[in-house]
């Protein structure tokens, strides 16, 4: 009995992590790709390794007050020529490319002045070798993040690169 229990317990992490890979791969397989301008910098963390913290440099429109309501808000992404428009609306409002802030682990920061727009920040893990290069590029010129929007509304940052 204990032998079978031990076998099941040892299989649990293999199945759990395997299911995680399958779920993420399936979501990314159906994702739509977005190129979004960003501004950011490169901190580091002994546990997480190297990552870039950045703010999406998109055109924020819509109703920011929806984010202060209990049900929260979502972003509807729209391509407007060379720029990306992020329309703030209540969660569940109809739109073609909704982004769930909680699922995407996107932090929203209120502006200091009323005339300024909301800021949305995120992060991307990068390799130890490429982190200094990317930090240099972030200082020098415009950068974009290549992000995959999965069907459930999670925006997954895949890589950052110069805008050109």
Q: What residue ranges bind other proteins (CB under 8 A)?
A: 2-3, 5-14, 16-18, 20-21, 24, 28, 46-50, 105, 122-130, 156-158
With beta carbons less than 8 A apart as the criterion, state whether 28 and 152 touch. Answer: no
Closest distance to other proteins from the beta carbon of 161 (Å): 13
Cβ-based neighbours of 159, under 8 Å, separated by 6 or more: 124, 145, 146
By C-beta, is 80 or 133 nearer to other proteins?
A: 133
Closest distance to other proteins from the beta carbon of 118 (Å): 20
Distance CA 120, CA 38 (A): 10
Unique residue bearing structure tokens 């999965």: 150
By C-beta, is 83 or 110 nearer to other proteins?
A: 110
By C-beta, is 14 or 96 nearer to other proteins?
A: 14
Closest distance to other proteins from the beta carbon of 145 (Å): 10
Cβ neighbours, 10 Å, residue 109 = 10
With beta carbons less than 8 A apart as the criterion, state whether 52 and 41 touch. Answer: yes
By C-beta, is 28 or 93 nearer to other proteins?
A: 28
Distance CA 147, CA 154 (A): 10
Closest distance to other proteins from the beta carbon of 10 (Å): 4
């Amino acid at each position: 009995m204990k032998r079978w229990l031990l076998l099941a317990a040892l299989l649990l992490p293999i199945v759990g992590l395997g299911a995680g890979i399958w779920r993420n791969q399936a979501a990314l397989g159906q994702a739509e790709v977005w190129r979004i301008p960003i501004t950011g910098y490169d901190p580091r963390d002994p546990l997480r390794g190297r990552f870039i913290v950045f703010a999406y440099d998109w055109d924020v429109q819509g109703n920011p007050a929806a984010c202060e309501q209990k049900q929260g808000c979502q972003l509807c992404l729209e391509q407007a020529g060379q720029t990306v428009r992020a329309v703030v609306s209540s969660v569940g409002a109809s739109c073609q490319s909704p982004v769930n802030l909680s699922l995407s682990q996107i932090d929203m920061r209120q502006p200091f002045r009323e005339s300024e727009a909301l800021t949305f920040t995120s992060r991307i893990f990068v390799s130890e070798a490429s982190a200094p290069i990317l930090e240099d590029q972030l200082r020098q010129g415009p950068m974009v993040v290549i992000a995959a929007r999965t069907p459930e509304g999670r925006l997954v940052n895949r890589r950052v690169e110069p805008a050109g």
